[in-house]
Amino acid sequence: MKRWYDLYSNILYMHFSDGFYNLPESAKNAASPQSTLKRMLRIAGYTLLRLYGNLLQSVERPGKLQGKVWLYVVSQNNYDSLQFVQKGMPEAVFVAGQSKDIGKYNAAVERISLRRKLLYYYKFPILLQQFLTHKKKNTLRFFDLLYDAIGFYEIYYRKLQKYSPAAVVFANDHNADARAMLLAAKALDIKTIYIQHSSVSLIFPPLTFDLNLLEGQDSLDKYRKCGTVQGKVELIGMPKADAFVTRRNFSRCISRVGIGCNLLDDLKEVENLLHKLTVAFPDMKIILRPHPRDTRNLASLLTITNNVLLSDSRTEPVFNYLQQLDVQVSSNSGIHLEAVLLNVWSLFYDFNPEEQLHDYYGFINHGLVDVIKTPDHMIQTLYSHLNNKPRVFERAQYYNATVATEYDGKSSEIALHLIRSFLEC
């Protein structure tokens, strides 16, 4: 039974860490509802709609899975980040769990049947007791995440044995299903590759993949703080940005501003800034881009003036959105780095000042972004730079190893070469 606890502690490494527990509730709510009743209803819904729902569907296509390189994805963003691998290696196949939501790519991924997942839920009472003994406060807050995680490892171990993929490539290292796939692959000596798809947090698990392809020194420094780094590490830049390097915005004028908000942001703060900006700059185009998982009603924000437009992050790729901008405004979000890579001036504005998530990614500390404290400060800053927008893309060098080098815009080529060489070993 101790073995079960050790395994699931590893699978749930981030979500049962003290670092995650100490995040503001608005951050934790994205993974698990704050209300105990809602967590219990979530379990009930998951049991009925997904566990029992899986029993009625046959989803696997063995011919598509056997012996292939698997590109394992848990989100639309993961898919976008690994598309270059499939383009360079057409024999690779996208793979996801049976009911996993991959956004607009749901029909484009091969599915692993989770019909048998229900058979492993006899472990839940035992695991719940063990987690309550060792991590009581975390377990009481996140018991729904423990329930959700049950069975992934056991199913994936069987599927990996059955289909013997040549390797499994990941773009996520901390979600429970991705970690279950990783641990199962490692137990079977199947090669594992990690391609970073977003900014790294200090609460992530230590790197344990065989080949780790990171964007830059910032990521490596953070992972070293997370724990011992295992496997080979290469700094390759950001493959998904390659196509846009030649389209950097070198205009000196500011006429288009984007506001990228996420689940942690207070929409009242966003609305307040929008009102002030539209009064001060009545002719300026402002594009609002909520996070893909943000289901809040933003209709009132779009009626402030005709100049406020919406970027649908579920259908419009982030770099297409950024191409339309001169200035990007966000609080704690990885979009700052993506903006600066396109030479879009990125400004940090705290849309959730009550919850103290100041500089979560270290972008302020390392000079990637400039800080704006109030709406009046924002207006003053934009006024003073309306015709002399700063050149900023070289600020990203600490975060992206290829910026301003001969390999700028060639991250995909570097990554594919390293992957092919690794698979041939």
In this predicted model, what pLDDT tens digit does every residue of 313-342 receive, in sequence order?
888 989 999 999 999 999 989 999 999 999
Cα separation, 171 vs 196, whole angstroms:
6
Mean pLDDT within 340-352: 95
pLDDT in tens, 224-269: 999 999 999 999 999 999 999 999 999 999 999 999 998 888 889 9
Mean pLDDT within 270-295: 90
> What's the pLDDT at 358?
75
pLDDT of 27 higher than 90:
no
pLDDT of 293 higher than 80:
no
pLDDT of 17 higher than 90:
yes
- The pLDDT confidence band at residue 58, using thresholds 50, 70 and 90, is confident
Is there a common fold for 2-238 and 243-398?
yes
Residues of the chain with pLDDT > 90: what percent?
80
Strongest mean pLDDT among 3-17, 46-60, 355-369: 3-17
Cα separation, 351 vs 273, whole angstroms:
9
Spell out the residues 6+ positions from residue 397 whose beta carbon is closer than 8 angstroms to its own.
216, 403, 404
What is the CATH class of 2-238?
alpha beta
pLDDT of 46 higher than 90:
no
pLDDT in tens, 108-124: 999 999 999 999 999 99
CATH hierarchy code of domain 243-398? 3.40.50.2000
Half-sphere exposure of 110 (CA within 13 A, CB side): 19
Q: Is 118 exposed, middle or buried (0-12, 13-18, 19+ CB in 10 A)?
A: middle
pLDDT in tens, 60-111: 999 999 999 999 999 998 999 999 999 999 999 999 999 899 989 999 999 9
Prediction pTM value: 0.91
Half-sphere exposure of 225 (CA within 13 A, CB side): 11
> What's the pLDDT at 262?
86
pLDDT of 356 higher than 70:
no
pLDDT of 164 higher than 70:
yes
Spell out the residues 6+ positions from residue 273 whose beta carbon is closer than 8 angstroms to its own.
259, 329, 349, 351, 375, 378
Helix (H), strand (E) at residue 96: strand 93-97
Mean pLDDT within 387-401: 97
pLDDT in tens, 178-223: 999 999 999 999 999 999 988 898 999 999 999 999 999 999 999 9
| Average pLDDT of the residues of the chain | 93
Mean pLDDT within 380-386: 97
Mean pLDDT within 290-306: 79
| Domains in the chain: boundaries | 2-238, 243-398
- Show the 3-state SS of 119-187: HHHHHHHHHHHHHHHHCHHHHHHHHHHHHHHCCHHHHHHHHHHHHCCCEEEECCCCCHHHHHHHHHHHH
pLDDT of 357 higher than 70:
no
